[in-house]
């Protein structure tokens, strides 16, 4: 419980870390209508593709220095020595970042979809899909940044991006299925399955990677 409070306080004081990705997401989505004709049917054509990419970029920016500060000041090493379950700490850290960044981005996605799409079902489904996708992307980029710890966030993004592409494809297929009114729950269950696997495996993998960096 103390670890959760500590992570919340640390992130709350780092306004740039959580506000920056949200503003980038907002700017991408605001800029999108400027690139197409101001007709509702035109806006809807590429809206969801831009939306998923904007969520991807914002989650990538959110994890840019998730471990770097703790690694540089020695906090990470002390935590590793004091706790036997570092994977649990990683899970709490990811969840904290998602509360500050992923959830607001999901809410903004949901609100924007109502102003763009005439398909009520598609607009309603944006919220759960945004929650699932943002949490998946966040975990993937956390793993990438752990691999590139002290080597630059660009390497982390390069490592994580191929893993995120299948998720983008499934998101695109799911929105197409929803808009056409065909069977779409299968895509959502597939994303939920991916999320379940990632929630379990990523913290364990990250804890081993961090231990390797500290040795």
Banded pLDDT at 193 (limits 50, 70, 90)? very high
Measure CA 82 to chain center. 29
Mean pLDDT across the chain: 83
pLDDT confidence of residue 84: 63
> Is pLDDT of 105 > 90?
yes
pLDDT confidence tier of residue 81, bands split at 50, 70 and 90: low
Of all residues in the chain, what percent carry a pLDDT higher than 70? Answer: 87
pLDDT tens sequence across 15-41: 777 888 999 999 999 888 777 765 556
Q: Residue 115 pLDDT > 90, yes or no?
A: no
**pLDDT, mean of residues 125-134:** 94
**Long-range contacts formed by 194-203: CB under 8 A, 24+ apart:** 194/136, 194/167, 194/170, 195/132, 195/135, 195/136, 198/136, 198/139, 198/140, 199/91, 199/135, 199/139, 202/90, 202/94, 202/139, 202/140, 202/142, 202/143, 203/87, 203/88, 203/90, 203/91, 203/94
> Domain boundaries in the chain?
2-214
Measured at the CA of 200, the angle between CA 195 and CA 201, to 5 degrees, comes to: 100
């Amino acid at each position: 419980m103390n670890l959760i409070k500590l992570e919340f306080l640390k992130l709350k004081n780092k306004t740039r870390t959580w506000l920056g990705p949200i503003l980038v997401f907002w700017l991408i989505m605001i800029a999108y209508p400027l690139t197409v004709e101001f007709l509702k049917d035109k806006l809807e054509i590429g809206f969801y593709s831009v939306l998923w990419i904007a969520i991807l970029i914002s989650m990538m920016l959110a994890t840019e220095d998730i471990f770097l500060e703790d690694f540089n000041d020695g906090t990470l090493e002390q935590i590793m020595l004091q706790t036997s379950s570092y994977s649990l700490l990683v899970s709490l850290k990811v969840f904290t970042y998602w509360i500050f960044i992923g959830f607001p981005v999901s809410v903004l996605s949901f609100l924007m979809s109502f102003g763009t799409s005439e398909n009520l079902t598609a607009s309603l489904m944006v919220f759960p899909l945004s929650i699932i996708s943002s949490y998946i992307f966040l975990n993937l980029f956390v793993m990438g940044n752990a691999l590139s710890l002290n080597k630059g966030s660009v390497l982390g993004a390069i490592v994580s991006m191929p893993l995120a592409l299948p998720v983008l494809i499934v998101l695109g297929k799911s929105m197409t299925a929803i808009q056409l009114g065909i069977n779409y729950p299968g895509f959502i269950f597939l994303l939920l399955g991916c999320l379940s696997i990632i929630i379990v495996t990523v913290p364990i993998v990250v804890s081993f990677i961090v231990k390797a960096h500290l040795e």
